[in-house]
A and B are shown apart, each in its own frame.
Chain A
């Protein structure tokens, strides 16, 4: 089974500054159809997760353009260009190439 590893597990950031989260998979996420199914989610306390990014770099409807995704193969990154207060919470990556496997989560908090 694929293992998804996120770093860091906790990220204190200053409002208005950039933030970056890494997600590494134990095997390539390139599907037999040529697509790579790596998504990013954001979860605030007491709320369900919300889809941010799908297929590495596609922003979901309504997601601000300060969020961007990149990567290929086994290494992926979520970047926030300028962190806002509403961005606090936990971020998860998820592969859907094999089944559906989540990373362990990265907690974003304001310094």
Chain B
């Protein structure tokens, strides 16, 4: 079955960077894009950006432009989300999701990123 398995929880200091991985299985990796969504504690869902697994083209939410980079490694069917210049309000659960036919049909389990001095 289709699965998206994310890397483990991270604790970072303000100003640092974090890189979260998302390994896809159960389908051909390059047939669908991947979106990244985050959720701050007690808050709603916030879309961060999308990457084409075929071309590497990206589309970032304006809020994260210049601070986030999405990449993929097709040999291992893995997508990555790197967020730089971390602040305390970046503390959140970060999700990857398969972006298929204009919806997010399979989600990773989430990765908790805590930013604290």
Contacts and interface: CB of A to CB of B under 8 A. Distances in A.
Grouping DSSP codes into helix (H, G, I), strand (E, B) and loop, the A interface class, with mixed when no group exceeds half, is loop
> Which range holds the interface residue count of chain A?
20 to 34
Interface in A79-111: 90, 92, 94, 96-97, 99-105
B80 interface: no
A50 B101 contact: no
A96 B103 contact: yes
B102 A49 contact: no
B45 A105 contact: yes
Contacts of A104: 44
Nearest to A51: B105
Contact of A99 (B61, B105, B106): B61
Contacts of B44: 90, 92, 102-105
B29 interface: no
Contact of B102 (A35, A101, A103): A35
Contacts of A105: 44-45
Given A99-B59, A99-B61, A60 B105 contact: yes
A48 B102 contact: no
A1 B62 contact: yes
A48 to B, nearest CB: 4
B71 interface: no
Question: Nearest 4 CB-CB pairs, A to B?
Answer: A37-B102, A96-B102, A48-B107, A100-B47
6 contacts: A1-B62, A49-B95, A49-B107, A54-B102, A96-B102, A102-B44
